[in-house]
Amino acid sequence: MKKKYLIVIADYYKDISKGLLSSAKSTLPKSSLIKIINVPGVFEIPVTISKNIKKYDAFLALGCVIKGQTPHFDFISHSSTDAIMKLSVKNKKPIGNGIITCLNMRQAIARKKKGKEAAQAVISVLSQ
């Protein structure tokens, strides 16, 4: 049976998001059914997954948070990660966390292929 994946991607940093999405999609099995939903930022990812939790077998959360001069980075990173973990455990469905947290744009560019690792993690959990 074909697995159904939902990729929720924050496109605040469009170039970074494009790399995360490309690396994730190239890793998922070709026979998969994949839907992509774009959201403005990583804070909107958990609620989007929650609204769709019953429709899909697995999820990928993709996006980027870059540290600025305020504590906003810490709040967004922690809140998003915590919400994604709670959704995954509560619903017993794998959610690959491909939200990269970086100190600057240089780090983000270097890590924009990390969507692949989130996809590999979800595939691994689905096969158990």
Q: Is 72 a catalytic residue?
A: yes
Local structure of 104: helix, strand or coil: coil
pLDDT at 3: 96
Give this prediction's pTM: 0.95
- Condensed to tens digits (0 to 9), the pLDDT of residues 77-120 reads 999 999 999 999 999 999 999 999 999 999 999 999 999 999 99
Among 14, 51, 72, 90, the one annotated catalytic: 72
Question: Is 1 a residue whose pLDDT tops 90?
Answer: no
In angstroms, the Cα distances linking 32 to 2, 11, 48, 68, 80 are: 5, 23, 20, 37, 26
- Condensed to tens digits (0 to 9), the pLDDT of residues 16-49 reads 999 999 999 999 999 999 999 999 999 999 999 9
What span, in angstroms and rounded, lies between the C-alpha atoms of 5 and 21?
Answer: 13
- Condensed to tens digits (0 to 9), the pLDDT of residues 4-13 reads 999 999 999 9
Q: What is the mean pLDDT of residues 52-56?
A: 98
Nearest to 96 by CA among 24, 34, 40, 37: 24
Local structure of 40: helix, strand or coil: coil
What span, in angstroms and rounded, lies between the C-alpha atoms of 121 and 119?
Answer: 5
